């Protein structure tokens, strides 16, 4: 609108533009995109990730921990911030199989780079990324080393922060469990049939286990 | 009790435009102290008002720039963020004052002081209201320019004493820029002196008082030469104050912070203060010379408000424009800066002097309007054409990054 041939025309044009911005920031709410963070919060992205946590099923965090202390994540973690010691006592997993469990499972918060590789490599869906980002701490040594009690969070938390991913994991685990149960039942039935056709010698009744319910 | 009553009466007289406001207080104290008290009465308000204005300006500037960029700006300290300056001031006061080992300690220490003192001295001759000129010098304008050019020395002291190449580069740039723009600044002011025939700033302000019966006040900015002079003066003042878009001496992206790179803590704050006070002083001078000083814009408004209110309203407006410009224009290059000063500003200010002369000599109103406007507008167009780069920029080609 201001002819370009006049010296200063561009300046006037720019001044009009900034004046429009200035007035617009008062009249047009869509221009002011600032989120005043501690008071105002916006919902996090579906794929937001910050720091890993350990998923547990049921109500008891330590008994329900899915982690089997296989140490794959410890080996794969690029900055080597996971530290695991296996326990000598085993505990049953969600399929009822006896599995190892971690005695110590620490992650160094100050070293973790939120790469999610531990999550990708875990074959047991035991470690997932949390979205919690207000992780500051006033103890820069012990406070930044997060142990397994602090890391353990229920599956419902996972379902809340990453609904889609949690639904997929839950479905898969449920299918696996159903398959394992079906297999166990089929095995039991086969065994029972075999027992019916050729009855076992007396005095050895334990060779056919009772079918699992 | 007497002096307190005198002080209150003095304050009242000053705020309500009455002549000789200092008298009640001076009469209430012993004879021997009067000259000292008179000086304190002149200095104290300047020392209180303008640093406070500086503090407020820093907050408003950040808020305004924020809004120009669709941000909120500072809004945490105090109501709506207006106490931000207190937090900033405390921060600079409590910060460690680092002096480089290689620096010339004495000069390094003196430079910020040598910057602020001349700037404060310039306020002495500005008439803030009808009877509110701290010193009514006959050669006030001369005093103003003489004192304000001392800041160049302070800037160079800072750059040289820091023993840092960026500081020195910044100082060299600053001196080159300030010396170049001093000329159009003085020449633009000279046109007013040609018309009024006086160097006294109070007299210049009084000459722009509206005559009873007229409508528009005879501010010089309402004449062709005055408008051009005002614009040129403001551009030069902007460059003198190292304000954006002429903030090359402190260009962060190239020489970090220029001449005050090696300053921290309160010395840095003093540089900051000096720069803003310089801006206020030259805006105040522009108001006095071109915008009618403490006069109201229309004859019928004269007397509605105390005269100093008009002055400060104009000052606030000019500061707002400076902030607006800072939010709009990017920094110019050194060659553009010098080109503007020597190829455009100086010829234009010289022609403004010619136009002011014409205005003074030509008798009839329409003729001098036409003649002055034609002269200045023509010169502006021609010089603008000459100054604007005629090179046509072709398509940008990427020779190596294909
Ligand atoms: S979190 Fe997963 S990968 Fe890591 S030790 Fe436990 S089960 Fe193995
Ligand atoms: S997110 Fe990456 S860095 Fe952090 S613990 Fe997992 S693998 Fe290690």
Q: Hey, is the C-beta of B71 within 8 angstroms of any chain A C-beta?
A: yes
Torsion angles phi and psi, residue A168, rounded to 5? -65, -45
- Average pLDDT value for residue range B114-132: 86
Q: For B47-67, how does the pLDDT look when each residue is reduced to its tens digit (9 = 90+)? A: 888 888 998 898 999 999 988
Domain positions in chain A are 52-161
Looking only at Cα atoms, what is the longest distance across chain B?
85
Ligand closest to the CA atom of residue A127: 1
Q: Hey, is the C-beta of B378 within 8 angstroms of any chain A C-beta?
A: no
Is 60 exceeded by the pLDDT of residue B401?
A: yes
Is there a contact between A21 and B329 if contact means CB atoms under 8 Å apart?
no
- Which of A93-97, A137-141, B62-66, B181-185 has the least mean pLDDT? A93-97
What is residue A127's predicted lDDT score, i.e. its pLDDT?
92
What is residue A83's predicted lDDT score, i.e. its pLDDT?
93
Q: For B279-318, how does the pLDDT look when each residue is reduced to its tens digit (9 = 90+)? A: 999 999 999 989 888 888 877 777 777 888 888 999 999 9
Domain positions in chain B are 2-12+21-44, 95-387
Q: Please tell me the residue having the least CA distance from ligand 1 atom 6.
A: A67
Is there a contact between A7 and B328 if contact means CB atoms under 8 Å apart?
no
B242 touches B177 (CB < 8 A): yes
Name the residue among B69, B328, B344 with its Cβ closest to that of A14.
B328
Q: What angle do CA A123, A125, A131 make, to 5 degrees?
A: 135
How many angstroms separate the CA atoms of B103 and B353, rounded?
Answer: 45
Ligand closest to the CA atom of residue A82: 2
What is residue B388's predicted lDDT score, i.e. its pLDDT?
62
Of B139, B117, B127, B144, give the one whose Cα is nearest residue B42. Answer: B127
- Helix, strand, coil percentages (3-state) for chain B, rounded to 5, are 70, 0, 30
Output the average pLDDT for chain B: 84
Helix residue spans in A90-211 (DSSP H): 117-121, 148-151, 155-161, 163-197
How many angstroms separate the CA atoms of B59 and A172, rounded?
Answer: 58
Confidence of residue B399 (pLDDT cuts 50, 70, 90): confident
Q: Hey, is the C-beta of A19 within 8 angstroms of any chain B C-beta?
A: yes
Name the residue among B70, B324, B384 with its Cβ closest to that of A25.
B70
Is 70 exceeded by the pLDDT of residue B2?
A: yes
What is residue A79's predicted lDDT score, i.e. its pLDDT?
93
Q: Hey, is the C-beta of B324 within 8 angstroms of any chain A C-beta?
A: yes
Q: Please tell me the residue having the least CA distance from ligand 2 atom 4.
A: A112
- Using a 10 angstrom Cβ sphere, with 0-12 exposed, 13-18 middle and 19 or more buried, the burial of residue B220 is buried
Of B174, B156, B158, B106, give the one whose Cα is nearest residue B262. Answer: B158
Is 60 exceeded by the pLDDT of residue A1?
A: no
Pocket lining for ligand 2, CB < 6 angstroms:
A 52, 77-79, 81-82, 107, 112-118
Of B154, B177, B181, B159, give the one whose Cα is nearest residue B169. Answer: B159
Ligand closest to the CA atom of residue A78: 2
- Who contacts B157 (Cβ-Cβ below 8 Å, separation ≥6)? B107, B110, B111, B114
Of B300 and A48, more confident: A48
Contacts of B71 in chain A (CB under 8 A): 25, 32, 34
Name the residue among A6, A14, A22 with its Cβ closest to that of B67.
A22
DSSP state of B344: I
- Chain A, 34 to 73: residues with Cβ < 8 Å from chain B are 34, 36
Strands A82-86 and A51-56: unpaired
Ligand 1 in reach of A70 Cβ (< 6 A): yes
Of B329, B348, B330, give the one whose Cα is nearest residue B387. Answer: B348
pLDDT above 70 covers a percentage of chain B that reads 98
Contacts of A19 in chain B (CB under 8 A): 324
Contacts of A17 in chain B (CB under 8 A): 328
- Helix, strand, coil percentages (3-state) for chain A, rounded to 5, are 40, 15, 45
Q: Hey, is the C-beta of A213 within 8 angstroms of any chain B C-beta?
A: no
Strands A98-99 and A51-56: unpaired
* pTM summary value: 0.76
A64 touches A99 (CB < 8 A): no
Q: Please tell me the residue having the least CA distance from ligand 2 atom 6.
A: A118
What is residue A77's predicted lDDT score, i.e. its pLDDT?
93
Torsion angles phi and psi, residue A130, rounded to 5? -90, 160
DSSP state of B330: P
Q: For B170-208, how does the pLDDT look when each residue is reduced to its tens digit (9 = 90+)? A: 888 888 888 889 999 999 999 899 888 888 888 888 888
Name the residue among B69, B328, B380 with its Cβ closest to that of A15.
B328
Torsion angles phi and psi, residue B77, rounded to 5? -85, 120
For the domain spanning A52-161, the CATH number is 3.30.70.3270
CA torsion B17-B288-B370-B215 (nearest 10°) is: -10
- Average pLDDT value for residue range B17-33: 75
What is residue A202's predicted lDDT score, i.e. its pLDDT?
52
B344 to chain A, closest Cα gap in Å? 10
Of A66, A72, A97, A99, give the one whose Cα is nearest residue A84. Answer: A72
What is the CB neighbour count within 10 angstroms for residue B108? 21
Q: For A143-171, how does the pLDDT look when each residue is reduced to its tens digit (9 = 90+)? A: 899 998 989 999 899 888 888 888 999 89
Taking the CA of residue A68 as reference, the ligand 1 atom at the shortest distance is 7
């Amino acid at each position: 609108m201001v002819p370009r041939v006049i010296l200063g025309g561009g300046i006037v044009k720019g001044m009009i533009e900034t004046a429009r911005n200035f007035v617009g920031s008062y009249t047009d709410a869509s221009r002011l995109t600032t989120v005043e963070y501690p008071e105002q919060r916006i919902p996090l992205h579906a794929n937001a990730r910050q720091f890993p946590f350990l998923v547990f099923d049921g109500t008891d965090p330590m008994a329900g921990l899915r982690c089997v202390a296989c140490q794959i994540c410890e080996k794969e973690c690029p900055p080597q911030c996971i530290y695991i010691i296996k326990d000598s006592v085993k505990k049953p997993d969600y399929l009822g199989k006896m599995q190892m469990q971690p005695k110590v499972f620490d992650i160094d918060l100050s070293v973790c780079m939120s790469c999610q590789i531990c999550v990708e490599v875990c074959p047991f869906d035991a470690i997932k990324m949390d979205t919690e980002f207000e992780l500051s701490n006033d103890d820069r040594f012990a406070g930044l080393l997060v142990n397994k009690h602090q890391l353990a969070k229920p599956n419902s938390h996972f379902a809340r922060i990453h609904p889609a991913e949690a639904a997929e994991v839950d479905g898969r685990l449920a299918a696996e469990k159903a398959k394992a149960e079906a297999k166990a039942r089929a095995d039991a039935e086969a065994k029972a049939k075999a027992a019916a056709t050729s009855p076992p010698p007396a005095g050895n009744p334990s060779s056919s286990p009772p079918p699992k319910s | 009790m007497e002096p307190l009553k005198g002080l209150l009466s003095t304050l009242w007289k000053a705020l309500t435009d009455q002549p000789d406001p200092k008298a009640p207080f001076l009469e209430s104290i012993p004879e021997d102290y009067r000259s000292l008290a008179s000086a304190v009465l002149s200095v104290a308000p300047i020392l209180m008002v303008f640093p406070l204005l500086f503090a407020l300006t820093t907050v408003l500037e950040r808020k305004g720039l924020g809004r120009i960029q669709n941000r909120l700006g500072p809004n945490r300290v105090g109501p709506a963020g207006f106490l931000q300056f207190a937090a900033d001031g405390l921060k600079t006061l409590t910060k460690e004052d680092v002096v480089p080992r290689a620096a010339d300690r004495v000069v390094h220490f003196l430079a910020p002081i040598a910057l602020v003192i001349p700037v404060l001295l310039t306020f002495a001759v500005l008439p803030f209201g009808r009877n509110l000129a701290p010193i009514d010098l006959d050669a006030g304008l001369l005093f103003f320019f003489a004192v304000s050019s001392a800041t160049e020395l302070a800037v160079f002291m800072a750059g040289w004493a820091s023993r840092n190449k960026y500081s020195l580069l910044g100082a060299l740039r600053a001196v080159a820029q300030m010396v170049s723009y001093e000329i159009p600044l003085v020449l633009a002011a000279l046109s007013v002196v040609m018309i009024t025939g006086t160097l006294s700033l109070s007299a210049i302000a009084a000459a722009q008082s509206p005559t009873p019966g007229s409508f528009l006040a005879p501010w010089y900015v309402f004449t062709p030469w005055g408008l051009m002079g005002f614009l040129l003066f403001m551009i030069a003042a902007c460059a003198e104050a190292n304000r954006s878009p002429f903030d090359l001496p402190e260009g962060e992206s190239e020489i970090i912070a220029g001449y005050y790179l090696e300053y921290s803590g309160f010395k840095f704050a003093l540089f900051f203060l000096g720069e803003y006070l310089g801006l206020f002083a030259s805006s105040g001078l522009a108001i006095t010379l071109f915008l009618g000083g403490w006069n109201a814009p229309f004859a019928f408004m004269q007397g509605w408000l105390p005269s100093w209110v008009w002055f400060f309203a104009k000052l606030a407006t000019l500061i707002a424009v400076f902030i607006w410009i800072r939010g709009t224009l990017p920094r110019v290059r050194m060659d553009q800066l010098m080109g503007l000063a020597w190829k455009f500003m100086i010829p234009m200010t010289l022609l403004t002097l010619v136009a002011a002369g014409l205005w003074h000599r030509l008798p009839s109103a329409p003729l001098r309007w036409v003649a002055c406007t034609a002269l200045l507008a023509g010169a502006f167009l021609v010089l603008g054409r000459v100054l604007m780069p005629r090179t046509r920029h072709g398509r940008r080609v990427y020779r190596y990054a294909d």
